[in-house]
Amino acid sequence: MKVFLKILAGVLLAFNGMSALYGGLNLLVYPNGNSLQLPLDYLQHSPFENYFIPGLILFSLNGLSSLFVCVAILLDSKRYAALILMQGCVLAGWIFVQSMMTDFSSNLQLVFAITAFLLIFCGAMLARSDHSKISHQKNRINIA
């Protein structure tokens, strides 16, 4: 089960990371949103005049950091479960704030909300698995 959760998290992180890098870079290069067919009208209830700052946030917080967590999984970092959980929370926060600040709604928001939920679930289950493994090892040491 642990291997499955790590693979699922890795695939979801790669999907989120690559999507966010693509979208974020497009918004950085074309802050008017035309390259992604995003009218500036979507930003009328936000503090932004164009998509540059949202693109920078998308590129870094969802794109680069998701790929960083993928690498942490591949390297079997001690903190990979917590990083997965945190990245799921970052993505959930991004979708929530995006929904609150814009008049834009699409099926993609639902896809990424589900992705965020699955990342949070995987991270929590993996952290729980690692915690129970450590507790079991401590108990074995105390018995010996």
In the structure encoding, which two tokens stand for residue 65, read together? 């950091």
State the pLDDT at residue 140: 56
Report pTM: 0.86
d(CA 28, CA 51): 7
Q: What 3-state class would DSSP assign to 79?
A: coil
User: pLDDT, tens digit, for every residue of 62-102?
Assistant: 999 999 999 999 999 999 999 999 999 999 999 999 988 88
C-alpha–C-alpha distance, residues 61 and 88, integer Å? 11
Q: How far is Cα 87 from Cα 126, in angstroms, rounded to an integer? A: 14
Q: How far is CA 104 from the centre of its chain?
A: 20
The predicted-structure confidence for 132-143, as pLDDT tens digits, reads as follows: 655 545 555 555
Q: What pLDDT score does 110 carry?
A: 93
User: Any idea what DSSP says for residue 50?
Assistant: S
Could you tell me if 15 and 115 are in contact, meaning their C-beta atoms sit under 8 angstroms apart? yes
- Tell me the pLDDT tens digit for each residue of 3-45: 999 999 999 999 999 999 999 999 999 999 999 999 999 998 8
CA dihedral of 36, 41, 45, 50, whole degrees rounded to 10 = 60
Which three-class secondary structure string do you get for 95-116?
A: HHHHHHHCCCCCHHHHHHHHHH
For the chain, domain boundaries:
2-143
